[in-house]
């Protein structure tokens, strides 16, 4: 078996395992954020923006 085939098989196994873990995971029961940002979470995209100022962490 060549290297490329082994990598593809390992990736397929990893995706299958991740899908199974996600299906078994319970949703988080978090309180609503008060005074939070509108739109997507800025930290998720690597930037923080507040009042026109953006900085990378």
Contact 55, 47 (CB under 8 A): yes
Structure tokens at 35: 């005074």
pLDDT of residue 2: 94
Task: Report how far residue 20's alpha carbon sits from residue 28's, in angstroms, rounded to the nearest whole number.
Answer: 17
Structure tokens at 53: 């100022």
Number of neighbours of residue 42 by Cβ within 10 angstroms: 14
Structure tokens at 31: 């309180």
Check: pTM over 0.85? Answer yes or no: no
Per-residue pLDDT of the chain (57 residues; tens, 9 = 90+): 899 999 999 999 999 999 999 999 998 888 887 776 676 666 666 555 566 666 655
């Amino acid at each position: 078996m060549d290297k490329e085939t082994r990598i593809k098989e390992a990736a397929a196994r990893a995706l299958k395992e991740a899908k199974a873990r996600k299906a078994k995971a319970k949703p988080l029961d978090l309180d609503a954020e008060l005074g939070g940002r509108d739109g997507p979470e800025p930290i998720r995209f690597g930037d923080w923006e507040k009042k026109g100022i953006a900085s990378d962490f």
